[in-house]
Amino acid sequence: EDKVVQSPLSLVVHEGDTVTLNCSYEVTNFRSLLWYKQEKKAPTFLFMLTSSGIEKKSGRLSSILDKKELFSILNITATQTGDSAIYLCAVPSYNQGGKLIFGQGTELSVKP
Amino acid sequence: DAGVIQSPRHEVTEMGQEVTLRCKPISGHNSLFWYRQTMMRGLELLIYFNNNVPIDDSGMPEDRFSAKMPNASFSTLKIQPSEPRDSAVYFCASSFGENYGYTFGSGTRLTVV
């Protein structure tokens, strides 16, 4: 059965800290992995990763994929209180018609 | 682009009543997904459509839930009869083909009392 596992489930840091969120997956016919940020409303798209070793970057956020070890990390540098959210990792499962399989999410809380 | 539009934003209903949630996907997107989110279970896929055809409804909890997509620009998720355990945020998302940057709607927060 295809699955996505994120760690840690929750994390509390102080402003300015750097955090690394982890996502491991077991999916047949892997094609891509997606990261989302969810605050109080709908998940918003951050990154889509398809190739190993190529870092995607957006401001203080960056992400990289390792298709050999079947995981991805999301880094946030110089965290701010506005980064507080649930970060979701998801992988399309072609075993199950292409639907997104979500991890449990990592709840990040950034304290002033 | 108005994005994925869901209505209503909030719904409070009594147990036993019928509830209908609505979704308008992004124009041109050919896949539409209904998700349910709760604190206990996180995001769960209920059903998804491709080119208006239901592809996978294995996530639909039980017969009380049904979904339709009569055309490319509209879908409904119906719960009849509703129960308190159906209380959750229901998200609709759409995507186009291989571009799996799924776009989510704002969600409908359903409370069944």
Residue B30, chain A, CB below 8 Å: the answer is no
Domain of residue A10 covers: 3-111
- DSSP-derived secondary structure for A15-35: TT--EEEEEEEE-TT---EEE
Query: Cα–Cα distance between A16 and B96 in angstroms, integer?
Result: 37
pLDDT in tens, chain B (113 residues): 679 999 999 999 999 999 999 999 999 888 899 999 888 888 888 998 988 998 888 888 889 999 999 999 999 999 999 999 999 999 999 988 654 577 899 999 999 99
How close A34 comes to chain B (CA, Å)? 7
- The confidence band for A96, taking pLDDT boundaries of 50, 70 and 90, is low
Query: Cα–Cα distance between A61 and B35 in angstroms, integer?
Result: 26
- Provide the CATH number for the domain around residue A90: 2.60.40.10
* Domain count across chain A: 1
pLDDT at site B100: 58
CA–CA–CA angle A70, A74, A79 (5° rounding): 165
Question: Chain A residue with minimal CA distance to B4?
Answer: A42
Helix (H, G, I), strand (E, B) or coil at B72: coil
Residue B87, chain A, CB below 8 Å: the answer is no
